Amino acid sequence: MQSGWGRRRWWEFRQGHSIYLVFALTFINFILISYRLLIEKITIFKELIPELWVFALVFLIVYVPAAILIGFWHRRTQLRVETTMIQQQNPVLATMIRTLLDVQTGVATKEEIDEFRKMLTKIERKKE
């Protein structure tokens, strides 16, 4: 794949937009809509939290630690699963590992080599 100047700028635009700008915009949008629909429409909440900046502050105090805890849980448990699944479907990685296996043939048993080769061949077929 050629990566000319235009393609690189397009990729950088998409990354900046989808990862950073949209994240910030949706976060602000969520706070504004939640305040409008939850706080302003319900009298009890409006008396407790009379202004938008108070709601935003309370929201951030609750939301940020919750997001950190969920991110920590994700990193500790789900990231391994996701990484394993992605690696099992990566034909380039399968080709590299198979090549390394061919170099190290004297280390593994014939059955292990055959089983590993079958697994890698199955993964490699997915790239076609």
CA atoms within 13 A on the CB side of 104: 13
Strands (E), 1-128: none
Q: pLDDT digits over 29-82, tens only? A: 999 999 999 999 998 988 999 899 999 999 999 999 999 999 999 888 887 888
Count of beta carbons in the 10 Å neighbourhood of residue 49: 19
* Tokens, residue 55: 């709601």
- Nearest Cα to Cα of residue 97 among 112, 127, 122, 117: 117
Predicted TM-score of the model (pTM): 0.57
| 3-state DSSP assignment of residue 65 | helix
Rounded alpha-carbon distances, angstroms, from residue 11 to 26, 32, 54: 21, 30, 38
Q: Assign 84 a pLDDT band (cuts: 50, 70, 90).
A: confident
